[in-house]
Chain A
Amino acid sequence: MSSKILELKNVSKIYGNLKALADINLSVNSGDWLSIMGPSGSGKTTMINIIGCMDTPSIGSVILDGVDISKESAANLTRIRRDKIGLIFQQFHLISYLTAVENVMVAQYYHSMPDEEEALEALAKVGLADRANHLPAQLSGGEQQRVCIARALINSPQILLGDEPTGNLDEYNEGIVVDIFRKLHDEGVTIIIVTHDPEVGDAAQRKIILEHGRVILQSKI
């Protein structure tokens, strides 16, 4: 029986007159793979920012691993994000002057202590053992995204959050990344991914579709 790792209760995010998210209720169990889909402006990124502790809701509560993070200070959210969340970005966001392994070690450095061996293992897990000492500019888009995944996984987060993780990849690399997610899901990693891509969305175990800040469809695949 898997435990509840995340719960959103009546969450709304309001910017002036605009409701980016409206009364969202959602719960995610440990080991779930959830994809969040919807058209542009539907509130996907706002939702993932709130789950990823980079934003707070205007109304409602967000329970992450048993702790309500909706009223936490920015400093506490930084600490929680560091300890519990692994982030994957559409544009990879690797540090240009650090090698692949050093980019992974940066996440360790901010979390606890850098360990090159562990970082190399993480890169090996995403099939980049031989590219560890390359700078991001020397890597393809797919390779950069895999470094980004290794970095997100290095501190064993409770949730792996991806914001359009295949948005900048070709079909071949998209397949590699989805395969990695599949493997991670099999290992019991909780994955939440925002995507436009139906193929990526359908690879998940569950998906929700947002429109105008509301969940219009919640389904098990």
Chain B
Amino acid sequence: MVNKRRGSRKRMYMKMVSSSLIRRASRLIIAVLAIAIGATILSGLVTIYYDIPEQLGREFRSYGANLIILPRGESKITREVMNSLRSLIGTGKIVGMTPYRYQTVKINEQPYIIAGTDLSQAEKNSPFWYIEGEWGNVMIGREIADTLNLRVGDTFTVQGVKYGEQAEASRQDLSAEENQRRDSARQNFARKFTVKGIVTTGGAEEGFIFADIDELDKLIGDTFRADVIECSIVADADELSALCSRIENEIPELQPRAVRRLTQSQDIVLGKLKALVLIVTVVVLIITMISVYTTMTAMVAERRREIALKKALGAENKLVISELLGEGVLLGLLGGTAGVFLGFEFAQRVSLNVFGRAINFQWSLIPVTIAVFIAITVLASIIPVHKVMEIHPAIVLKGE
């Protein structure tokens, strides 16, 4: 029986609160709109705030590797060690992981360096390289192309000594044919390549030949041994520093070196952007609260007679206040819900326009944003709603 009575009172409470909003639709639309706009900007900015490090981190990765891995001592890095490194970092964090093996070769009896690498990973690590032709096996630096007068599609022959073999120097007392025969001997290699692309970077890369590392290994008769691994990792300076420590501890054969210039720039830009978003968020929050405060103040003012009537009928202040706060909660719920989805749309557009990447919908934002906006609405309503206590039914309801 008691439950039935409570249920009946609760139903009437809900009826009054919902009817007040639904049957005064024009007021409802204005109030919900004010809250929804605030919630949209706020949830959008929060989405961006949490997505910026990821978005900007990946953006910064286009400036090249931020972690250089060298072998400790005289040894080189084997494929097993590189795989261990990949597992330790975690594939989700790796934008590109490019091993390099440097091998001295001769072209037209002149020494050059060929860099064996994973070309697909190199492309991810160095999207800023300008390639005339296309990425592929093999590419030559602009400097070499100019020296040897090579163009895309031209062929050239590289020669060298196989891994672990001794080179025999050309002798002046022997004929050119004899020297050539000695170069073609079992301990040497020679291979004709076609230029797929010419690399222009404005840096040291223009003096290298880039070939697939597995083909280079085969050519020199050795297994995978990298001189260096360049990694592009999605991480800030602190995370990178922690990662370096983990690598040093867990893979002692490696010496990690964070590229500080890049990571520091990334952190500075990120810090400033996050601060900016935070400031805007706080400002929007305050503006929303002011807007809700104004709306609720107007609502209480224009409903003085209704409030006075309720008090005349015997409603205690707390009961009338709870009804108005109930309306506030409902407004917050409607505005917050609309704001979550509109905010995601807003964040998505910002992300696509600024970073050129889509963002994932954060489901956890739904309850959080709604709860925050209910709290904001209730908080902003407290002062206007307390004006109920100043309303005197005898004064407000007197006849004319």
Q: Which residues of A contact B (CB under 8 A)?
A: 45, 49, 52, 54-55, 75, 78-79, 81-83, 87, 89-91, 93, 95-98, 102, 105-107, 109-111, 113-115, 135, 151, 163-164, 167
Beta-carbon contact of B24 and A110 below 8 Å = no
Q: Which of B9, B16, B311, B400 contacts A113 (CB under 8 A)?
A: B9
In this complex, the member of B15, B20, B24, B394 whose beta carbon has the largest number of chain A beta carbons within 10 angstroms is: B394
Structural contact, B314 and A164, CB atoms closer than 8 A:
no
Contacts A106-B16, A113-B9 hold; do A135 and B314 have CB atoms under 8 A apart? no
Q: Which residue of B lies closest to A112 (CB)?
A: B5
What are 30 A-B interface contacts by the 8 Å CB criterion? Answer: A45-B398, A52-B312, A54-B312, A54-B392, A54-B394, A75-B316, A78-B314, A78-B316, A79-B314, A79-B316, A82-B313, A87-B312, A89-B399, A91-B397, A91-B399, A91-B400, A95-B306, A97-B19, A97-B22, A98-B15, A102-B16, A106-B313, A110-B313, A111-B313, A114-B8, A114-B9, A114-B11, A114-B12, A151-B313, A167-B399
B359-370 interface mask toward A, CB cutoff 8 Å, 1 = contact, 0 = none? 000000000000
Complex Cα spacing A192 to B172, Å: 136
Take A82-B314, A102-B15 as given contacts and tell me if A113 and B23 are in contact as well, using a CB distance cutoff of 8 Å.
Answer: no
Interface residues of B (CB under 8 A from A): 5, 8-9, 11-13, 15-16, 19-20, 22-24, 305-306, 309-316, 319, 392-394, 397-400
Contacts of A109 in B (CB 8 A): 9, 12-13, 16
Q: Is the CB of B16 within 8 A of A89?
A: no
Residue ID in chain B nearest A194 by CB atoms: B399
Known pairs A91-B400, A115-B8, A135-B23; A54 contacts B393 (CB<8 A): yes
Contacts of A96 in B (CB 8 A): 23-24, 306
Q: Which residues of B contact A113 (CB under 8 A)?
A: 5, 8-9
Contact A164 B316, CB 8 Å, known A54-B393, A106-B310, A109-B9? no
Cα distance, A201 to B16, chains bound together (Å): 36
Picked from A89, A97, A98, A151, the residue with its CB within 8 Å of the CB of B397 is A89
Beyond A55-B394, A110-B313, A114-B9, whether A164 also contacts B399 by CB under 8 A is yes
**5 A-B pairs with the lowest CB-CB distances in the bound complex, closest first:** A82-B314, A97-B23, A90-B399, A54-B394, A114-B12
CA distance A43 to B346 in the complex (A): 62
Q: Interface centre among A55, A75, A78, by most B CB within 10 Å?
A: A78
Residue in B closest to A92 when the chains form the complex, CB atoms? B309
Nearest residue (CB) in B for A102 is B15
A95-B309, A97-B19 known; A163-B399 Cβ under 8 A: yes
Contact B397 A93 (CB under 8 A): yes
Q: Chain A contacts of B310 at CB under 8 A?
A: 106, 110
Q: How far is the CA of A90 from the CA of B400 in the complex (A)?
A: 8
Given A105-B12, A113-B5, CB of A93 within 8 Å of CB of B305 = yes
Do B311 and A49 have beta carbons less than 8 Å apart?
Answer: no
Q: How far, in angstroms, from A52 to B22 measured CA to CA in the complex? A: 33
Contact of A110 with B309 at beta-carbon distance under 8 Å, contacts A97-B19, A135-B23 already known: no
Kindly name the residue among B15, B309, B314 whose own CB sees the greatest number of chain A CB atoms within 10 A.
B314
Question: Distance (Å) between the CB of A47 and the closest chain B CB?
Answer: 12
Inter-chain contact A87/B313, CB cutoff 8 Å: yes
A163 to B316, alpha carbons, bound, how many Å? Answer: 22
Known: A54-B394, A115-B8. A81 touches B312 (CB 8 A): yes
